[in-house]
Amino acid sequence: MESYTKKSLLLDVLNEVCGQLNIKVSSLIFLNYEFTNEQIRDLYQYLTLKDSLTLTVEAFELSQELISIKPDLGEDQAEDMASQLIDALRKEGRFENVWV
């Protein structure tokens, strides 16, 4: 049975609106995958380090880092999230030196 909490309903609406408008936002991706503030901070620290050293990050490498930060994230989920994040962060102009 599907859960209809206020949070899940709001997330459904946000996903639908962003999907219709073809908006890719990293914050929504983090919400969808239930990342905590600490996990987001850990990922941003990793990406900031790579960016400052002008080291590139490919989708597979990012998916592995996502799993190390959030171990309950499966391989398929991590790969999907990595590609979504790369698209969103590129559009947001974040970590520009990192993306291949």
pTM exceeds 0.85, yes or no: no
Give dist(CA 41, CA 21) in Å, integer: 28
Give dist(CA 4, CA 36) in Å, integer: 21
Name the residue with higher pLDDT: 1 or 68: 68
Domain ranges of the chain: 24-91
Write the DSSP assignment of the chain as a string of letters: -----HHHHHHHHHHHHHHHHT---HHHHHHHTT--HHHHHHHHHHHHHHHHTT--B-HHHHHHHHHHHSTTS-HHHHHHHHHHHHHHHHHTT-STTTB-
Q: Which tens digit of pLDDT belongs to each residue from 40-96?
A: 999 999 999 999 999 999 999 999 999 999 999 999 999 999 999 999 999 899 999
